[in-house]
Amino acid sequence: MSELPLEPMPTDDASLLETARRAAARASSLQSDARGKVDPSRWTVKGRSDFVTEVDVESERLIVSTLLESFSNHWILAEEGTEHESDGQRAPIRWIIDPLDGTTNFLHGYPEYAVSIAAEDSEGLRAAVVLNSATGELFEASRGAGARRDGQKIRVSDLDDLDLALVGTGFPFKKLNVLPAYLETLSRILRSTAGIRRGGAAALDLCDLASGRLDAFWEYWLMPWDVAAGALIVREAGGVFEELEVPGIESGGAAGRTIADMPP
C-alpha cells in the first residue's frame, strides 16, 4: 500500500497490536462519552454529507499521542490531517488512522462507527485494529498470524454460490459524478445476489466480511485510512482485498473470498 521509503526494524507485532488497542480504547471511550451530545451547530462540513466534529479531531489527537508515546520515530497518516515524520529519513512503521469511521452514523446515534488503526512497514500492512465504538466489538490482525474478533479466530465465508451471497457496499456520496457507474454496478449485483447491505463505515464492513457476516464488499472512492486496517483483517481471515480498476474512477476497493465471483 505504501511507496514511502520505510525500512524494517525490530518492532514486534505484539507491541504494535497492544499499543493500537490502547489507542483505540482511548478514542472509543471519548466517543462513547460524547454520543448524543455533539451540538449540530458545531459540525464542520468537509463536503456533501461529509462531516467532521471536535470528537473526530480529539479522537485523532488521543490516538496519535498514544502511538508516539511508545514509538516516537514512527510516521503518522491520519484522516483529519495529522501527519508526523521521524527526524531521520526513514521510519520503521507508518500508522494509518481513521479516528472515527462513520461520523454521520455517530452523529445520528446509528451504531456503526469505529476507530481504525493500521501499522505498515516496508513489506506492507503489518498490524491492524478496528474497534466498534458503539458495541465494543474488537477486530484485529497481524501479518501471517490470522484475524480475530474479541480474541477468537475468524474466517471469511466459504460460500461459492453468488446467488446466495450477501454483499456489502458504500455509496460514493463524495463524488456524485461517479454515481452512474456505481448504480450500474449496483444493479448488476442486486440482480445476481441474495441482497446488498450498506453500513456506512467501510472499516466495519470489511470486518463483517472477515467474520463471514458478508460474503463480498465493494465501494468506490475509498482512502487509505478507510481500508488499511480492514484490508489486513480480511486477508488474514482468508479473504481477498484488491483495488478496483474502473474507467474514470480513481479510487475504489473490492473484497471477498474471491473477487472473480463478482458478476461481469
The domain of 246 spans 162-261
Confidence category of residue 149, pLDDT binned at 50, 70, 90: very high
Q: Distance (Å, rounded) from C-alpha 220 to C-alpha 258?
A: 18
Domain annotation covers residue 139: yes
Domain annotation covers residue 1: no
* CB-count burial class (<10 Å; 0-12, 13-18, 19+) for 108: exposed
pTM: 0.86
Q: Do 25 and 140 reside in the same domain of the chain? A: yes
Per this entry, what is the length of the chain? 264
Domain edge (last residue) among 122, 153, 184: 153
Q: Do 149 and 166 reside in the same domain of the chain? A: no
Helix (H) or strand (E) holding 17: helix 13-34
| DSSP string across 76-111 | EEETTS-EE--SSS--S-EEEEEEEETHHHHHHT-S
Q: Do 146 and 41 reside in the same domain of the chain? A: yes
User: What would the pLDDT profile of 209-245 be if each residue is shown by its tens digit?
Assistant: 999 999 999 988 888 999 999 999 999 999 999 876 6
Domain annotation covers residue 5: no
DSSP-derived secondary structure letter, 121: E
Please enumerate in sequence order all residues whose Cβ is within 8 A of that of 263, keeping only pairs 6 or more positions apart, or say none: 162, 188, 189, 191, 192
C-alpha cell at 239: 479473504
Total of domains in the chain:
2
Q: Do 31 and 135 reside in the same domain of the chain? A: yes
Q: Do 139 and 167 reside in the same domain of the chain? A: no
Q: Which pLDDT belongs to residue 245?
A: 60
Domain annotation covers residue 2: no
Q: Distance (Å, rounded) from C-alpha 83 to C-alpha 163?
A: 44
Domain edge (last residue) among 131, 153, 175: 153
User: What would the pLDDT profile of 167-178 be if each residue is shown by its tens digit?
Assistant: 999 988 777 788
Q: Do 117 and 18 reside in the same domain of the chain? A: yes
Q: Which residue is associated with the grid cell 484522516?
A: 79
Question: Alpha-carbon Rg of the chain, whole angstroms?
Answer: 18
Domain annotation covers residue 7: no
Q: Distance (Å, rounded) from C-alpha 76 to C-alpha 82?
A: 7
Q: Do 90 and 169 reside in the same domain of the chain? A: no
Closest CA to 85 of 4, 3, 2, 13: 4
